[in-house]
């Protein structure tokens, strides 16, 4: 990093602590702007990395760049996300203490991309083997899956994470990544049923419609046009220029297979089911009762009539017992439908995270946590979601300042330097305002949701005013002065966050906090044939009479657990900044950046860091860099490092107030002191070059050169001896290759085995029909056959796991056909490639007491007589056995209309009429139909 200090006039300083005017926000932003214009998007504040989204591809993320930062100390090279990644990794290995990287910033600032870069760095640079490489792939491939189901296009960002994510990357004692685990927070479920104009629902819906093939969409009863679905039409934004839904669909499907996911059909049925739910429309009867007016496929694996009943009626309970069923009005039915859609999608998302965790799970000794979570949000209309998001950022800011102060104080104490008290804004007062028991905003909201009688958003606002009136960080229209009232609605309350003022509209707070499904809707979903949904909706949940926690309280509790996790780890920080709202490269909006600098707490962090000293380095690093500036330390210092540094700075004329010497580091208070030293080094470099080439130094250079050449020659001679010995062993082994394994041939025979296995690894059969296998040397024939058998068994097992139930049924039929007809029937080979369709055979019979039945055998050739009309005195037994033998139970049709149509020659149709009469007979009727008269007993036999 010091190597770029001389370019500070052009590109600014690489560490904000070196700003002369560190209290000036304008100087801070100017330094950011200057570096951004030079495509230098990373800058430090001490150990904190500030990242500005460039909105374009930069050539700074190659594998060569990764190697450049690998194993390099933090300040030895320019700021980069790879530097934070590598230093965190090495700190975990050396200290054996868990680490975490906290990534924050507003939507569109590049948080998710930063998280991807860190994961990619570990996947490429960490030691690994084939098994761990596969696990690394699963770790990386979890990103596109989570983005598809948890990200959406918003007004600020085309790929906005609408949930918070904390991921633990797990390492073994050698530093090999061996697993992972993901925690997700506050998925924005309301987006499933409503989007603002210009925004979209979650990506997966559009990916399915644009990327799914015609057969899949037909199976799911879907059409490609998003406007046909109410849950996708509200934002009126089916296409986005920066998003290719069709390609993203392929990426997600591939990612699911890499993760080991085998339940795509059930998952996609749920996604389509949510879209169909949104298209359910309701009508209202004369007495206010609600009924469904549309016919639509739901595909949630539930009984249609039961779902209809649950969407239009509500079960009421008293004292734990069900007492009556109450019809829902139109608004309640619409709310019930939307609540079901949100619950189905939200629980499916949690299930998906759980499945990813199962694919990544493995025991580990250390972890590096990655927190990619929503940044502080101030929108034109701020609702319940923004309230939760900003509360989360208050807690993270509190943690950030606390941990930053603590780490600074610990470093000073370790070095034996007195700590000076730092003045900063403690936002605990705001956190307490939101989360305090009994009198915090969340507690008041819960109380309003639980109290009997008429509850609502406005009564919640009134209770806030009664309880929190007079709090310095809480304002409403009623409590505000005249000037503030003019810009505040009567339905809003204002919180004075650490990052600025935010007005929250209370509309929807109570409903979103309740976030409850009607009990009868839960009962219906518990009985779903879809295994994912039956897993997500537990039967115990229906039986449990205890009311679940409210949404805000659940979020608060999960946030507390997250804080505990982060407090137990050594933190590193990445602060992401969005340079403009238009997503344009090269554009730097100072007003927007200033706002983010404020709410990310960057100036406060800088003040904490600069409270004592701007620059600190280990004695060795400082002495090594600046030793040419003092005759006593150049070219080498042979005493104690602390004495060498003391000698050097005395020669440079440092004043006592400019520096302090710790136990292992020098602390320089003012950047100007460091810059003066750096400028002196630049001026000294030409003189150092001349000195190195003159007088006795020339002799020294010759000695060094000769010593180096001698060492290289000795190394070369050693390699030649080892190569000659290796060749001798190989030749001798070849000569004795047919002898028993021993000292003469062990190397050669081991090499033959190794070469065969290496070749085999590259040429393994890829599927069960691939019969190729490398010819083995004689000494490994037996092992080769055994490996061949194991590999074939493994391929068969993998193939069987992927076989869907419908295809399995088809294969069973093909095997039975082979056993009966192979080599016995000339037409058999033609049937092998054709699917056996259940629709080719059907049985019809009347509901009367006759023995007639029709076997339908449809064919494409209309000239053939396709259907067979039969009569039997044991028709029930015969049809039952036929149906069971052919698995056609569900194709038996009982005709209650007293007539059966059947196919006859040349595409014509025959009709059998069934009537009751005094005696049993079969005859030709007057209309040319076949008439079957069934004996009429008069009374049913008992």
| Residues contacting residue 46 through CB under 8 Å, at least 6 positions apart | 15, 17, 605, 609
Residue 717: the pLDDT is 93
Give pLDDT tens digits for 594-638: 988 887 888 888 887 777 777 778 888 888 888 888 888 887 888
Give pLDDT tens digits for 831-856: 887 777 766 688 888 878 788 888 88
Nearest to 402 by CA among 375, 431, 370: 431
Cβ distance 96 to 366 under 8 Å? yes
Give the DSSP H/E element, type plus range, for residue 909: strand 909-917
Helix residue spans in 527-583 (DSSP H): 531-536, 539-543, 551-567
Catalytic residue among 115, 154, 161, 348: 161
Active-site residue, 740 included: no
Q: Both ends of the chain: CA-CA distance in Å?
A: 99
Residue 65: the pLDDT is 92
Catalytic residue among 88, 107, 115, 530: 107
Catalytic residue among 188, 377, 523, 658: 377
3-state secondary structure 453-504: CCCCHHHHHHHHHHHHCCCCCEEECCCCCHHHHCCCCCCEEEEEECCEEEEE
**CB neighbours of residue 770 within 10 Å:** 11
Whether residue 645 is preceded by a cis peptide bond, meaning omega within 30 degrees of 0, is no
**CB neighbours of residue 658 within 10 Å:** 18
3-state secondary structure 143-188: HHHHHHHHEECCCCCCCEECCEEEEEEEECCCCCEEEEEEEEECCC
Q: What is the band of 862 on the pLDDT scale with cuts at 50, 70, 90?
A: low
Checking if the pLDDT of 129 tops 90, the result is no
The set of long-range contacts for 214-217, using a CB threshold of 8 Å and a minimum separation of 24, is 216/268
The rounded distance, in Å, linking the Cα atoms of 906 and 818 is 32
Percent with pLDDT over 90 in the chain: 22
Q: What is the band of 941 on the pLDDT scale with cuts at 50, 70, 90?
A: very low
Q: Helix 428-435 and helix 384-415: axis angle, to 10°?
A: 140
Residue 538: the pLDDT is 80
Checking if the pLDDT of 56 tops 70, the result is yes
Active-site residue, 23 included: no
Cβ distance 810 to 834 under 8 Å? no
| Residues contacting residue 213 through CB under 8 Å, at least 6 positions apart | none
Average pLDDT for 309-318? 78
Active-site residue, 520 included: no
Catalytic residue among 43, 88, 104, 108: 108
**Any known ligand binding at 653?**
no
In CATH, which superfamily holds the domain spanning 1-111+547-612?
Kinesin motor domain (3.40.850.10)
Checking if the pLDDT of 329 tops 90, the result is no
Residue 372: the pLDDT is 83
Checking if the pLDDT of 318 tops 70, the result is no
Checking if the pLDDT of 874 tops 90, the result is no
Cβ distance 202 to 151 under 8 Å? yes
Q: Identify the weakest region by mean pLDDT among 295-299, 376-380, 913-917.
A: 295-299
Q: What is the band of 35 on the pLDDT scale with cuts at 50, 70, 90?
A: very high
Nearest to 49 by CA among 85, 19, 98, 22: 85
Q: Which residue has the higher pLDDT, 654 or 408?
A: 654
Residue 937: the pLDDT is 59
Average pLDDT for 662-691? 77
Active-site residue, 454 included: no
Tell me whether strands 665-668 and 615-618 are parallel, antiparallel or unpaired. antiparallel
**Any known ligand binding at 105?**
yes
Residue 227: the pLDDT is 92
**Per CATH, domain 613-692 is 3.90.1640.10:** no
**Any known ligand binding at 111?**
yes
Active-site residue, 157 included: yes
Residue 716: the pLDDT is 92
Give pLDDT tens digits for 779-800: 888 889 999 999 999 888 888 8
Q: Which residue has the higher pLDDT, 660 or 424?
A: 660
Residue 942: the pLDDT is 38
Average pLDDT for 18-42? 90
The rounded distance, in Å, linking the Cα atoms of 480 and 501 is 13
**CB neighbours of residue 373 within 10 Å:** 22
* pTM for this model (two decimals): 0.65
599 in helix, strand or coil?
helix
Nearest to 461 by CA among 473, 443, 448, 471: 448
Residue 695: the pLDDT is 52
Give pLDDT tens digits for 469-491: 889 999 998 888 888 888 888 99
Going from N- to C-terminal start, the domains of the chain cover 1-111+547-612, 613-692, 842-935
Q: Which residue has the higher pLDDT, 362 or 28?
A: 28
Active-site residue, 366 included: no
Nearest to 577 by CA among 160, 114, 108, 152: 108
Residue 445: the pLDDT is 92
Active-site residue, 831 included: no
Cβ distance 362 to 179 under 8 Å? yes
Tell me whether strands 892-895 and 665-668 are parallel, antiparallel or unpaired. unpaired
Q: What is the band of 880 on the pLDDT scale with cuts at 50, 70, 90?
A: confident
Cα of 119 vs its chain's centroid, Å: 12
| Residues contacting residue 83 through CB under 8 Å, at least 6 positions apart | 49, 69, 72, 74, 77
Catalytic residue among 31, 159, 160, 382: 160
Helix residue spans in 736-780 (DSSP H): 746-762
Give pLDDT tens digits for 391-441: 988 888 888 877 777 777 777 788 888 777 666 777 889 999 999 988 899
Give pLDDT tens digits for 502-535: 999 999 888 888 867 777 888 888 888 888 998 8
Max distance between CA atoms of the chain, in angstroms, equals: 136
Residue 660: the pLDDT is 84
Cα of 399 vs its chain's centroid, Å: 24
**Any known ligand binding at 847?**
no
Checking if the pLDDT of 940 tops 50, the result is no
Cβ distance 151 to 160 under 8 Å? yes
**CB neighbours of residue 222 within 10 Å:** 22
Catalytic residue among 12, 273, 375, 644: 375
The rounded distance, in Å, linking the Cα atoms of 855 and 740 is 73
Active-site residue, 375 included: yes
């Amino acid at each position: 990093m010091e190597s770029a200090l001389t370019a500070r006039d052009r590109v600014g300083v690489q560490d904000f602590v070196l700003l002369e005017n560190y209290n000036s926000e304008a100087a801070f932003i100017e330094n950011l702007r200057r570096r951004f214009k030079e495509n230098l998007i990373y800058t430090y504040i001490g150990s904190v990395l500030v990242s500005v989204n460039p909105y374009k591809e930069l050539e700074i993320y190659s594998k060569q760049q990764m190697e450049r930062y690998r194993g390099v100390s933090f300040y030895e090279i320019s700021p980069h996300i790879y530097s934070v990644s590598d230093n965190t990794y090495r700190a975990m290995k050396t200290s054996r203490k868990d680490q975490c990287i906290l990534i924050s910033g507003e939507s569109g600032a590049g948080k998710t991309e930063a998280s991807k870069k860190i994961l990619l760095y570990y996947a490429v640079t960490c030691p690994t083997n084939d098994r761990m490489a596969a696990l690394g792939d699963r770790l990386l491939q979890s990103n596109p899956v989570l983005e598809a189901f948890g990200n959406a296009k918003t007004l600020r960002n085309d790929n906005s994470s609408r949930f918070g994510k904390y991921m633990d990357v797990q390492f073994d004692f050698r530093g090999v990544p061996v697993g992972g685990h993901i925690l997700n927070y506050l998925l924005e479920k309301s987006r499933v049923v409503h989007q603002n104009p210009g925004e979209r629902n979650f990506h997966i819906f559009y990916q399915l419609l644009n990327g799914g093939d015609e057969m899949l969409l037909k199976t799911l009863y879907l059409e490609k046009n998003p406007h046909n679905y109410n849950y996708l039409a509200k934002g009126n934004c089916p296409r986005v220029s920066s998003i290719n839904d069709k390609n993203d669909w392929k990426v997600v499907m591939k990612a699911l297979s890499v993760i080991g996911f085998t339940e795509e059909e059930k998952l996609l049925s749920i996604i389509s089911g949510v879209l169909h739910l949104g298209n359910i429309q309701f009508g209202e009867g004369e007495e206010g009762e609600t009924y469904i007016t549309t016919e639509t496929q739901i595909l949630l694996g539930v009984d249609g009539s039961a779902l209809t009943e649950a969407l239009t009626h509500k079960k009421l309970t008293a004292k734990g017992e069900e007492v009556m069923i109450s019809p829902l009005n139109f608004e309640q039915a619409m709310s019930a439908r939307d609540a079901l859609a949100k619950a189905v999608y939200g629980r499916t998302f949690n299930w998906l995270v759980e499945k990813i965790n199962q694919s990544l799970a493995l025991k580990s000794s250390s972890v590096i946590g990655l927190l990619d979570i929503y940044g502080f949000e101030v929108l034109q209309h701020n609702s319940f979601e923004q309230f939760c998001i900003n509360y989360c950022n208050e807690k993270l800011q509190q943690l950030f300042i606390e941990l930053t102060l603590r780490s600074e104080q610990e470093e000073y104490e370790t070095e034996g330097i007195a700590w000076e008290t730092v003045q900063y804004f403690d936002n605990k007062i705001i956190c307490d305002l939101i989360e305090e028991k009994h009198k915090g905003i969340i507690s008041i909201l819960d109380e309003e949701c639980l109290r009997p009688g008429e509850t609502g958003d406005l009564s919640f606002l009134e209770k806030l005013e009664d309880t929190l009136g007079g709090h310095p960080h809480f304002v409403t229209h009623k409590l505000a002065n005249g000037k503030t009232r003019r810009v505040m609605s009567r339905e809003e309350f204002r919180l004075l966050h650490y990052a600025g003022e935010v007005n929250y509209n209370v509309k929807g707070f109570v409903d979103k906090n309740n976030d409850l499904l009607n009990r009868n809707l839960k009962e219906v979903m518990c009985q779903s044939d879809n295994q994912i949904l039956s897993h997500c909706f537990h039967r115990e949940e229906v039986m449990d009479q205890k009311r679940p926690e409210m949404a805000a309280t659940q979020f608060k509790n999960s946030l507390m657990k997250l804080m505990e996790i982060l407090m137990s780890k050594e933190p590193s920080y990445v602060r992401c900044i969005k340079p403009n709202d238009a997503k344009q490269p090269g554009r730097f909006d100072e007003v927007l950046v200033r706002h983010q600098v404020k709410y990310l707490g960057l100036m406060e962090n800088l003040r904490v860091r600069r409270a004592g000293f701007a620059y600190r380095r280990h004695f060795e690093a400082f002495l090594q860099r600046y030793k040419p500036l003092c005759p006593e330390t150049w070219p080498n210092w042979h005493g104690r490092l602390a004495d060498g540094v003391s000698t050097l700075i005395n020669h440079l004329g440092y004043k006592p107030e400019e520096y302090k010497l710790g136990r292992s580091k020098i602390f320089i208070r003012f950047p100007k002191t460091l810059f003066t030293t750096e400028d002196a080094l630049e001026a000294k470099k030409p003189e150092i070059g001349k000195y190195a080439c003159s007088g006795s130094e020339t002799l020294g250079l010759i000695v060094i050169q000769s010593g180096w050449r001698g060492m290289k020659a000795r190394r070369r001679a050693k390699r030649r001896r080892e190569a000659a010995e290796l060749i001798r062993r190989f030749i001798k082994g070849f000569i004795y290759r047919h002898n028993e394994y021993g000292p003469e041939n062990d190397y050669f025979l081991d090499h033959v085995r190794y070469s065969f296995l290496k070749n085999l690894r590259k040429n393994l059969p890829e599927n069960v029909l691939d019969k190729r296998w490398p010819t083995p040397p004689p000494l490994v024939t037996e092992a080769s056959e055994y490996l061949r058998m194991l590999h074939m068994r493994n391929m068969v097992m993998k193939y069987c796991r992927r076989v869907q139930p419908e295809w399995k049924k088809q294969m069973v039929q093909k095997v039975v056909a082979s056993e009966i007809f192979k080599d016995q029937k000339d037409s058999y080979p033609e049937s092998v490639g054709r699917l056996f369709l259940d629709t080719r055979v059907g049985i019809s019979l009347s509901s009367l007491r006759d023995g007639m039945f029709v076997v339908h055998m449809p064919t494409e050739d209309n000239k053939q007589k396709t259907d067979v009309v039969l009569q039997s005195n044991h028709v029930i037994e015969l049809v039952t056995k036929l149906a069971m033998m052919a698995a056609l139970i569900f194709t038996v049709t009982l005709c209650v209309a007293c007539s059966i149509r059947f196919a006859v020659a040349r595409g014509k149709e025959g009709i059998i009429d069934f009537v009751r009469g005094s005696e049993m007979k079969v005859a030709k009727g007057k209309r040319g139909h076949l008439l079957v008269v069934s004996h009429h007993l008069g009374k049913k036999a008992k």
